Structure 1
């Protein structure tokens, strides 16, 4: 086997892992530039940016951060240490250098094995509470990536569901937003088979993409969490994406499902409101967590399109 072919196979394996990351409306807005067998650059794919709902590029950066985390894990499982430099210049989101060879930690092998099984689930969850040790492990996962995962109590969750409903109502009055959403929920992005059912009753704890499949009654008390960062700049957004994916892989290890309720954050970004500083950090993701049935995956881009 030629050296060039060996490098190509190794790079493709890394790109497949990176491409399994979650992203806003499944846009998968990343590209990778392979320099040689020792370095790769992560770049934004601005053709897959959502300029109406994400004018700052915050969600794009969070999405790319998730892909970066998967890439780091894949490099580590390949026996190398990933030396990452984030935002080295205006064009590049991160440079990943494949450093010295080193034994692979069991934790990295476990996270890597979970990458294909992570799903965004818009199905109803059971009323079973997530055990405290699992919540603690998820908090630790976020902190390892310099973010914070805050689990909301019952009152906080009810308030957040109200905020999400109000934001959803405001968003659906914006024709440009609706056009952008439709472009990524018909044929590409989030296809109809992963939209989830329509909610029976007043409780609707999933995002409405306009085309539900059937109807169902959701859990009466959704378990919600907010992922925050200390500040609210592009570097924080990349860190939030890495923290999010690490949290989701830990959740997958314990069969915990997740979906997102980011309408309040989208509305904030669209109105260009600056998030006020507060001690618990700046919200970057709002998620619903719980135990749900297996769900199909959303389609992924071919590695030839991102690498």
Structure 2
């Protein structure tokens, strides 16, 4: 039987890193089964599934993909070469999302060590950002990061960003009329979810580029021209969602390297999922995440689950 007391320090470091990943409403819907020092399985924690806003499980898979990327980075930083098999039991109801095997000692890549060290510094930032534009070189590096995980990162021009902000506001207004959605949001706006101290202030003016969790404190004027990006994948199935999560976390860590902050505006995607609609095929891919990027202040970390809560017994 594997418990938090029986896993060795090296494996514990991998799980701590995985647990630092971003997730929808900070649900952290992942668990891990440690088969031995050379194999870890990642499972969906369906007790933390957002049944109302995520009926397809898309956001759950994206969240778990981000945790999987952190696990891979931590392994490479520790000189272990990870080989991840996604959805090894397709069609099964086991909740097994990935199996990660670790080869013997391998060279520690400098870029992976750098990303590993950035994991605890990445935070979702719902504060106002400055008007400073992200340099083209940084945008290019973030775009490359997404492509390495078989996804695309599309940066919106000013007109497209305004249109998407309007769409997000319309979606949030419609969601606010759904009592089940509001109850789910309220349940994850305290404690282990998104407590008030990480929700950011209420926006002054008509444009609000941050999701409203209902418990935001204070008010502030946000940047006049939010810089938005959309992460897309070629398909829109569980395998694509896991890839999107890995791409998301690689992008966010590269952003953190350049002191670029991020928050999310996924209300249109939630509304789409709740209607059980899927996007028609588009040459630029299926949207999986909507991100607001920029330069913001230091912010506190959202609560994290202890390693003991992440383990599944063998």
Q: Which residue of 2 aligns with 1:303?
A: 307
Q: Secondary structure at the match of 2:289?
A: strand
Q: Any idea what SS the aligned residue of 1:288 has?
A: strand
SS in 1 for 2:22: coil
Q: Distance in 1 between matches of 2:193 and 2:132?
A: 31
Which stretches in structure 2 are left out of the alignment for 5+ residues? Answer: none
Residue 243 (structure 1) aligns with? 247
Q: Distance in 2 between matches of 1:16 and 1:103?
A: 22
Residue matched to 2:212: 208
- d(CA) in 2 for partners of 1:7 and 1:17? 15
Report Cα offsets for 1:68-126 as digits up to 9, x if no partner: 00000011111111011000013210000011321111000100000000000000000
Alpha-carbon offset, residue 270 of structure 1 = 0.2
Separation of aligned partners in 2, 1:125 and 1:153: 17
What are structure 1's unaligned runs of at least 5 residues?
none
Deviations 1:121-167 (A, max 9, x none): 00000000000000000000000000000000001100000010000
- 8 Å CA contact 2:210–2:263 kept in 1: the answer is yes
Aligned to 1:57: 57
Give the corresponding residue for 2:114: 110
TM-score, with normalisation over the residues of structure 2?
Answer: 0.95
Query: 1:127 corresponds to which residue?
Result: 131
Relative to structure 1, is the Cα distance of residues 5 and 217 closer, same or farther in structure 2, using a 3 angstrom cutoff?
Answer: closer
Work out the CA distance in 2 between the residues paired with 1:65 and 1:103.
24
User: In the alignment, what sits opposite 2:183?
Assistant: 179
Answer yes or no: is the 8 Å Cα contact 2:211–2:265 preserved in 1: yes
Match of 2:166 in 1: 162
Alignment-derived partner of residue 37 in structure 2:
37
Query: Which residue of structure 2 aligns with residue 293 of structure 1?
Result: 297
Cα RMSD, aligned residues only = 1.1
TM-score, length basis structure 1: 0.98
Report if aligned partners of 2:80, 2:103 keep a CA contact under 8 Å in 1: yes
Equivalent residue pairs, number: 304
- Residue 191 of structure 1 is matched in structure 2 by 195
> Any conservation in 1 of the 2:192–2:304 contact (CA below 8 Å)?
no
